Amino acid sequence: MAGRVAVVTGASRGIGRAVAKLFALEGANVVAVARTQAALEELDDEVRAAGAAPLMLVAENLCDYEKIDQMAVALARRFGRLDVLVGNAGALGRLGPVGHMDPPMFEQVMDVNVVANWRLIRALDPLLKQSEAGRALFVTSTVGHDARAYWGAYAISKAALEMMVKVWAAELLKTNVKVNLVNPGRTRTSMRREAYPGEDPESLPPPEAHAEAFLKLVSPDCQDHGASFDLTKPSA
């Protein structure tokens, strides 16, 4: 990752935080995107204390889509390219029957999990193509392709995300950009706690347990494209 430019969304906590930190420690120029400035600054302090270069912090809501476009312009001016995009930010919404979903909640989940990722693709596709080995990785879930009762908006949004990423991958076949999906599975995150409040968090792997897999999937050596990786399986 030395010298590579990487954007990681949802970088203030959970898997995004662990991934952004590892990328920085491996020598990447990391653009850490999240809504919470204080949490991003805390991560930056940890990275600096470990001897890595400071992060570039973008404390914005991804649903403020113009900010995504502005970030792309800033990256173009500073680096002229983007090597890695990790679309990790996500919203769970409220679990329950499809017919009972609150419209504002449904729209918010779709905005975060689908539309924001489309806006990232739209804004950053040209910069990824300027990289010698552009890599994009989006976080999905088992419920995105395995229908499960009461997972409503979240499952629907992940199914849409998966198809969007696969369509984009099909359009990139003749480029140096490789695009994939990753399903981390059960992980000790705040979203998992929200979905399963009665579960013992100590029974789950921490976010840091997945960071190495993310690192591998965005390396120039990774030649997989349009694939979905399930980290709960030994072969992943």
Q: What amino acid positions are annotated as catalytic residues?
A: 154
The rounded distance, in Å, linking the Cα atoms of 94 and 108 is 11
- According to DSSP H, which parts of the chain are helical? 14-25, 37-49, 65-78, 103-110, 116-129, 152-171, 190-195, 208-217
Length in residues, the chain:
236
Helix axes 152-171, 103-110, angle to 10 degrees: 30
Token look-up 């120029």 returns 29
The rounded distance, in Å, linking the Cα atoms of 110 and 155 is 10
Region of 134 on the Ramachandran plot (φ > 0 left; ψ -120 to 50 alpha; else beta): beta
DSSP single-letter state for residue 143: G
**Cα angle value 56/193/204 (rounded, 5°):** 85
